[in-house]
Amino acid sequence: MSNIANDIRIVITGVGLTAPNANNLPDFRKALLEGKSGIRMFETRYLPPVPAGVCTFDKFKHETKKAARRGTRAGSISIYCANEAVIDSGYDFQNKDRSRVGVFIGITEHGNVETENEVHSLAKYNNDVKFWTHHHNPRTVANNPAGEVTLNMKITGPHLCMGAACAAGNLGIIYSAQMLRLGEVDFALGGGVSESIHTFGIFASFKSQNALAHHENPAKACRPFDKDRNGIVVSEGGCMYTMERLEDAKARGAKIYGEVAGYAYNSDATDFVLPNPERQAECMNLALKRAGMDPEDVDILNTHGTGTQQGDEHECEAARTVFPNAPRPYINNTKSYIGHCMGAAGALELAGNIPSFEDGLVHPTINLDNIDPDCQLDGLVINKPKPVDNIKCIMNNSFGMLGINSVVILKKFED
């Protein structure tokens, strides 16, 4: 991390989200503490029904039907989450300079949904391209979800999507913090989104790799660290944060959810798909170093664990390397409730843990009935919430294909 403005403190002041089991932070937290899964059977093109996480937010709460028809599912998710975050923050958006607002959204991929649908529809017309939609290009450019937010909210500051595979949700937070520290913006909307369930290709690809989860009860399909886990549950979702410099947040009397204490991202440089536990551990340690913290300062470690055999084992190996003798952290996993929300995963999973600063509870990992010995971790919270005194620090892991790793450390705000 650069030394530029490194002492400027960055805080989260608003949260807007949609997950397969909730459409706002209080309901999301309640679902996590009650063990409520959001996974159900889902029909997708060319495949039998599969377990998936489907969001049920009010699509037209902040977006017109005309704009939704022209835009994308990822755009609709982003618009919903961004507007909800601003409302939650209490920021006087109507009377602020919107050229000083930035929108920074992490994505896994974008454009596959729209392209698959358009190719499928074109077949009905003997593949005559005169029937190809003129909305294709703005729908599929990589900046689309963030761009749709700026159009919807009349934001004239910078916008950007970060393609960072399943590490992307954390990257939206990291990039927002960096832009605030550099003085490029005064108010940032940062996080991650995913519309992945609306493309059959992602299901087909994981199935061809024998990495697509299956279970007779879809609520039990996502089983990170369990000996009987059999793959990933693909989900959609989104989470956007409003982020500000501490001095600005305090000046307007904003509530503060937490302070970004440290972050890091790096590359494995070893394989297209298989993770590298050594690089993951390096990323976690670098985030701690930048936060000025030791491993024993971390109270909660929210794991990336997706339910794949090697992925879970490698992350656990990395965690044991970073936390060999620490009495904490307590360790949990959020995907066991909502599946893998891809580009949204990191941002959503952090959100699910933020209320721990206030309620003193660590939400558990569910569906963990028979722990894999290779995934044994001291402090793993299983099936029931864990009351913990004085929770002050959360480490949030998100790792992705092509060896991209990201870690965000959030601490309880103390003036």
DSSP lists the bridge partners of residue 396 as 302, 408
Q: Is the pLDDT of residue 4 over 80?
A: no
- 55 and 158 part of one domain: yes
For range 251-275, the mean pLDDT: 97
Residues 157 and 203 in one domain: yes
Tens digits of residue pLDDT in 282-334: 999 999 999 999 999 999 999 999 999 999 999 999 999 999 987 789 999 99
Q: What's the longest Cα–Cα distance across the chain? A: 65
- Residue 79's alpha-carbon distances to 7, 54, 145, 152, in angstroms, are 32, 17, 8, 7
Strand 50-53 to 300-303 pairing: unpaired
Please tell me the predicted confidence (pLDDT) of residue 327. 79
Do 181 and 118 share a domain, yes or no?
A: yes
Sheet holding 159-163, edge to edge: 159-163, 101-107, 187-194, 237-245, 10-18, 258-267, 404-411, 393-400, 300-303, 330-333
What is 71-103 written as a DSSP string?
S-HHHHHHHHHHHHHHHHHT--GGGS-GGGEEE
What CATH code is carried by the domain that includes residue 271? 3.40.47.10
**Single-letter residue type at 208:** S
Asked whether residue 256 is assigned to any structural domain, the reply reads: no
Residues 80-119: tens digit of each pLDDT: 999 999 999 999 988 999 999 999 999 998 889 999 999 9
Same structural domain for residues 234 and 278? no
Domain boundary among 251, 282, 302: 251
Question: Considering Cα of 225, then 231, then 281, then 106, what sign does the dihedral take?
Answer: negative
**Taking 80 as the threshold, does the pLDDT of residue 64 lie above it?**
yes
Same domain for 275 and 230: no
> What is the average pLDDT value for the chain, to the nearest integer?
96
330: domain range? 262-411
Tokens of 280: 């993951």
Q: Which of 251, 283, 307 is the last residue of a domain?
A: 251
pLDDT at 1 over 70: no
- This model's pTM is above 0.75: yes
- Tell me, yes or no, whether 73 and 202 share the same domain: yes
Domain boundary among 189, 218, 251: 251
Q: How high is the pLDDT of residue 111?
A: 86
How many domains are there within the chain? 2
Q: Check whether residue 68 and residue 206 sit in a common domain.
A: yes
pLDDT of residue 328: 87
Structure tokens at 355: 């209320």
Phi-psi region of 109 (alpha: psi -120 to 50; beta: other; left: phi over 0): beta
pLDDT single digits (tens) 354-376: 999 999 999 999 999 999 999 99
Residue 318 lies in a domain: yes
